[in-house]
Amino acid sequence: MIISKQKPFKEILEFLNGKNKIFITGCSLCATSCMTGGQQQIEEMKEKLEKQGKTVTGSVILDPSCHKLQVKATLKKQKSQINAADAVLCMACGNGVQTVSSCVKTLVYPANDTLFIGEIERIGQYQQACKACGQCELGWTAGICPITKCAKSLLNGPCGGAKNGKCEINPENDCAWILIYNRLKDLNMLNTLLEIKPPKDYSKSLHPRKLAASK
């Protein structure tokens, strides 16, 4: 899940300065789950913009906002409403904003800040879970990511600075390596920690990245 939060409305208005007619897009997946780009949030945004004297020419929930072919097909049906707008306000993650922008000639502005790939612990509470490093380590760490959950992204055990099971960088967080150790111990798999891991190949996380599935 890509976790996002809505930008301050003042910042959104700064983007839309001089733009009087606005078309709004949302996203059926991540932004809907994060309550930053679902139907309710679009309706609330429409009301707020209209109170500022803006005209909302239309809106649509993209399913999802990052699927380019699907976005193209959906926005084609909204062509007249988009052409009537001075700007498109995209209530999705940064990826969704760029996808929408590539499909229309109208200027597209983000309504949200994209934070991280994470878990929904409960509605309104999210935790980062993955940094998309390009080489997943979860197979030998009992499903706990040392790259994301360790503040130093250490691969060969803890730094030694943990206190009472908490990270020395951010005492609000559990030490990732203590979590990994305890989980492996419960699974009788501590032997997996005996192998020294080579330095992380961060060339696999260079960006922008592309993937073309083989046929």
The domain tally of the chain equals 2
Domain-ending residue, one of 115, 149, 165 = 115
**Does 143 share its domain with 64?**
no
Residue 162 Cα distances to 78, 133, 140, 171, 173, angstroms = 55, 24, 22, 8, 10
**Does 7 share its domain with 108?**
yes
126 within a domain of the structure (yes/no): no
188 within a domain of the structure (yes/no): yes
pLDDT of 214: 61
Residue span of the structural domain in which 143 resides: 133-194
- 132, 117 in Cβ contact below 8 A? yes
Q: Name the pLDDT band for 101 (thresholds 50, 70, 90).
A: very high
Q: Name the pLDDT band for 215 (thresholds 50, 70, 90).
A: low
Across 113-135, average pLDDT: 89
**Does 178 share its domain with 94?**
no
Residue 210 in this model has a pLDDT that exceeds 80: no
Ranking 42-51, 158-167, 191-200 by mean pLDDT, the lowest is 191-200
